[in-house]
Structure 1
Amino acid sequence: MERRKILIATKTYPSISTKYRETVCTAGILLDDNENPQQWIRIYPIRFRQLDFDKRYPRWSIISAEIENNDKDYREESYRINDSSIEILRKIDTKKNWEERKSLVLPLEFKSLRDIKEKGKSVGIIKPQTIKKYYYEKTAREWNLKQQAILDQGDLFEPSVEIEKIPYRFGYEFLSRDGDNHRLSISDWEIQQLYRKCKNNSQAKTLKEREQEALEKVRQKLEDEFLAKKDLYFIVGNLKNHKNSFMIIGLFYPMLEKNNCPLNIFENSQGRKWKNLIF
């Protein structure tokens, strides 16, 4: 393994694994010794919540760690990591409207999802031409029998960690710069955690009311705030067993610089019209 610097750009919500019980996929940018961006990478598998506290890297941190190409994954961006080697070097802040974050991320921007596929890549960042709408839809309320059996397996040497099943899927329908229409779900841990936090903190009496309150908070974030106030980009990644199926694994959202962007009119999911910017 080789020790390298990595910018942590996003983490996905934990998923259930037959081998590892739970795993998290981390997408980031491989940096050279001077912290110049080199390429997008994927760190997988990693049992993030089982890491020592001093190694649980926050989003937008630069870490140093021993990594190597994952020879069991055909995707060139996929790397394994030595958990015990992780060192958190520093956290990149949002000063000057994400100036430093932009300097590390946007040089590796792709034109579109089609561009990513044509270049044989499996992860990257894109800027949609037009976001047509935010959506959410119901999913299974419980883990399936196989998944639950994995969670129920005891381990004498590790504490049991519950993974809450989120019974909703959030996403965007958008038009890319090459004219293709896409409908991608969002697996960003931050968004799933927003739903969980709002539901668990709700003072409503019934589960249905708590969920509806949480759904509204997520809508306000992803629709009212992000579409109206943020210069929104999507960090996207594909599925190992379905290379042409992509999802939004992270959101990149500095504030809009309104003087440089033309206005357009959209209608949101509740039928209200508001001004937004063409992305």
Structure 2
Amino acid sequence: MRALFAVVFAFGLLVGAPAYADKEADAYYKEGLAYKMEGKVDQAIGSLEKAVAKNPQHGMAWASLGALYKQKKDLPKSISAYESATKVITKDKTLWRNLGTAYANNSQNDKARDALTTASKLDPKDAEIHALLGTVRRKLNDNKGAITELEQAVKIKADEGEWWHSLGVAYRFDNRIDDAIKAYEKAIEISPNESRYHFDAGAAWRRKDDPEKAIPHYEKATELDPTFSEGWFDLGFMYKRNHENDKAIAAWQKYLELNKGKDAEGGKRIEEEMTSIGGTPKKETPKKPAPKKAAPKKK
């Protein structure tokens, strides 16, 4: 009888906390949620930490802690909380997605891939999870896998410009330039004011040695973001390739102004390119020091 009691008691410890602990944990959990609703993050965390101390199997308290730690930019604690939550609540795609995202933000891309794969298996039609998986797989140099996930994402939900852009980047790394251009054009159609989308489309057309198609994208990129030094750099080369030397010189001069004090090697190259087509890099005239004021005469 004692042996049986010992087994039952041990099993009880494994499967959960005593009833009174559950009640106390629930009370702290509800208190934490109330604080969270009021925007009192630190108090919410304090109450939720008490909840999981009373009942380490309180999955919802762990899940809420994961979100709050993330809000506080404490990734290690956020990850630990989401890990504890998914051990208890094993079939919630949102928890696995949040855990995967936290891993990715902490540069733990192998674990991010595994967590997001679990999330995707729980809901294969969740486009956002496919898109996140695509991004993580590209970071892991699994470009084929990235393309598969991103293609699935845009198939399910076709109105996210960022996903089309990411797909274009993956195609470019796979040397599928025509497919990359189509993806970039789709991204631009959805979000026409993203300078990076135009820049990457221009770069793809540049890879195809088609300055007529590349130039409008580079021009748009630098129009949307006049501080986009890479855009001015590439635009100058496309103007030169198109025998528009005056425009090339002007674009490169803009690059030199933006690049001042940054990439010395890049600056030197552009100065040489400008000189080769008859341009003269403009140097800033050093400002003369202000004249010193005469000391007041003693009376």
TM bucket by the smaller chain?
under 0.3
| TM-score (norm. length: structure 1) | 0.24
| TM-score (norm. length: structure 2) | 0.23
More helix per residue:
2
Larger Rg: 2
More strand per residue:
1
